C-alpha cells in the first residue's frame, strides 16, 4: 500500500484476530494481529513500562506486507489483572516474565521469527528479548533507545532536576519520608503499594507531573502525555514504572550493552532525538558502537517523543525491512 508522503502513516486498520493469552501466575495478556495474515511477522513492544499498546502503532506498518502483532504487557492495557487494582500481585511482573510472555505469544501464533519495533522502555525489553532469543529476531527498529541502566534511571528521576529544579523540588517533596534523593523511585514504588487510595493517587499525580516536566521542552501537540491519561491507566503506569525502575529492571548494570555481541547478524535501525532529555543520546551511541549490524540515525530537532523527522525515519526503516525474509 502506498503512502501519500514519506512522513505520513498508513491508514488506520483494525485487528483481524485477538485474544487473551494465559501466561501463568494468574495473568492473561491481551494480544491482537492486524495487516496481512501472510505478511512478514512483526511485534510492537510498547513503552512505559505499563503504557499499553495503542492503535496508532499499527499505522507504521504497510498492511499489505506485514503481519503486525501488538500486545499489552502484564498489568496494563487490556491485560489482567490490572496494576491499578491494589490486590494485583506485582511479584510476577518482571523483565524475565515479559520475555517469557513474548516467547509464549510467538509460539501461540505459530511465528518462527519476527521483526521487533518499539521505543523507550520498549527498546529495553526488545534488547533483553533479542539477546535471549537472537534466533527468533529478523530485524529491530527502535525509536528512543534505552537500556534501563541504573545510571539512566538516576538521570531521569534525579539528574534531570538540574534542568527543571522547581518541578524536581515538587517531585522530591512527594516522598518526604526519604532523605536520600537517589531513593526517590523506590519511595514512590512503596507509596504505590499503599493500602490508602489517597496516597496512591497523590503519588501518581506527582510522578506524572515530573514526567511531563521532563518532556515540556518538546513540541508535543495536545494535552500533557502523562497527566492527561485516564486515572486507571495512570495508576497502572506509575505502579509498574516505579516497580521496574526501583529494581533496575532486574538487569545487571550494563548487561544489555555488554551482551550486544549476541545481536550480531540482526540488522537494526536505531533512531534517537538529539534533544531527548528523558533518555540522553549517549545510550543510543554506545549501543550503536557495540552492535555491528545497527545503524544509528540522530534526529537533530527531536526529543523523546519524536516528530515528523523521527516518524519519517521509522517508516523508512520498516518499509525497508518489509521485503526481507
Question: Grid coordinates representing 191?
Answer: 507509596
- At 4 the pLDDT is 47
**247 noted as active-site residue:** no
- pLDDT above 90: percentage of residues in the chain: 91
Q: What is the mean pLDDT of the chain?
A: 95
Residue 223 pLDDT greater than 90, yes or no: no
Residue 27 pLDDT greater than 80, yes or no: yes
Mean predicted confidence (pLDDT) in 199-223: 93
Question: Grid coordinates representing 173?
Answer: 517533596
Q: Point out the catalytic residue in the list 72, 206, 276, 288.
A: 276
Distance between CA atoms of residues 260 and 109, nearest Å: 27
- At 230 the pLDDT is 86
CA–CA distances in Å: residue 59 to residues 3, 49, 63: 11, 21, 8
Residue 3 pLDDT greater than 70, yes or no: no
- At 2 the pLDDT is 54
Distance between CA atoms of residues 162 and 248, nearest Å: 22
Question: Grid coordinates representing 197?
Answer: 487510595
**53 noted as active-site residue:** no
Q: Point out the catalytic residue in the list 120, 123, 243, 288.
A: 120
How does pLDDT run across 172-181, given as a tens digit for each residue? 999 999 988 8
How does pLDDT run across 124-150, given as a tens digit for each residue? 999 999 999 999 999 999 999 999 999
Q: Point out the catalytic residue in the list 82, 97, 272, 304.
A: 304
More confident residue, 166 or 222: 166
How does pLDDT run across 78-87, given as a tens digit for each residue? 999 999 999 9
Residue 224 pLDDT greater than 90, yes or no: no
Mean predicted confidence (pLDDT) in 272-284: 97
- At 219 the pLDDT is 76
Mean predicted confidence (pLDDT) in 204-208: 98
- At 158 the pLDDT is 96
Reported pTM = 0.96
Residue 315 pLDDT greater than 60, yes or no: yes
Report all structural domains of the chain as residue ranges with CATH numbers, in order of start. Answer: 15-148+251-320 (3.40.50.1820), 149-247 (no CATH)
**112 noted as active-site residue:** no
- Which residue in 276, 298, 301, 266 sits closest to 285, CA to CA? 298
- Which residue in 322, 312, 210 sits closest to 267, CA to CA? 322
Amino acid at each position: 500500500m502506498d503512502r501519500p508522503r514519506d512522513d505520513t502513516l498508513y491508514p488506520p486498520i483494525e485487528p483481524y484476530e485477538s485474544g487473551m493469552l494465559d501466561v501463568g501466575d494468574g495473568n492473561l495478556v491481551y494480544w491482537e494481529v492486524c495487516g496481512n495474515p501472510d505478511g512478514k511477522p512483526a511485534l510492537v513492544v510498547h513503552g512505559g513500562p505499563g503504557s499499553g499498546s495503542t492503535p496508532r502503532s499499527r499505522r507504521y506498518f504497510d498492511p499489505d506486507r506485514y503481519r503486525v502483532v501488538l500486545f499489552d504487557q502484564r498489568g496494563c492495557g487490556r491485560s489482567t489483572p490490572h496494576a491499578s487494582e491494589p490486590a494485583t500481585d506485582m511479584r510476577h511482573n518482571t523483565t524475565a516474565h515479559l520475555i517469557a510472555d513474548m516467547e509464549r505469544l510467538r509460539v501461540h501464533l505459530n511465528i518462527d521469527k519476527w521483526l521487533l519495533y518499539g521505543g523507550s522502555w520498549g527498546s529495553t525489553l526488545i534488547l533483553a528479548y533479542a539477546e535471549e532469543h537472537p534466533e527468533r529476531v529478523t530485524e529491530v527498529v527502535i525509536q528512543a533507545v534505552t537500556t534501563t541502566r541504573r545510571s539512566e534511571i538516576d538521570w531521569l528521576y534525579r539528574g534531570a532536576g538540574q534542568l527543571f529544579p522547581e518541578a524536581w523540588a515538587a517531585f522530591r517533596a512527594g516522598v518526604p519520608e526519604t532523605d536520600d534523593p537517589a531513593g526517590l523511585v523506590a519511595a514512590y514504588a512503596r507509596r504505590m503499594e499503599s493500602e490508602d487510595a489517597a496516597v496512591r493517587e497523590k503519588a501518581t499525580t506527582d510522578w506524572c507531573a515530573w514526567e511531563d516536566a521532563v518532556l515540556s521542552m518538546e513540541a508535543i501537540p495536545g494535552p500533557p502525555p502523562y497527566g492527561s491519561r485516564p486515572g486507571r491507566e495512570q495508576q497502572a503506569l506509575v505502579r509498574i514504572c516505579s516497580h521496574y525502575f526501583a529494581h533496575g529492571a532486574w538487569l545487571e548494570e550494563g548487561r544489555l550493552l555488554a551482551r550486544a555481541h549476541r545481536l550480531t547478524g540482526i540488522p537494526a535501525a536505531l533512531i534517537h532525538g538529539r534533544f531527548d532529555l528523558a533518555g540522553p543520546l549517549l545510550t543510543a551511541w554506545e549501543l550503536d558502537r557495540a552492535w555491528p549490524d545497527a545503524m544509528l540515525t540522530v534526529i537533530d530537532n527531536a526529543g523523546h517523543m519524536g516528530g515528523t523527522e523521527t516518524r519519517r525515519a521509522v517508516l523508512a526503516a520498516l518499509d525497508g525491512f518489509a521485503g526481507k525474509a
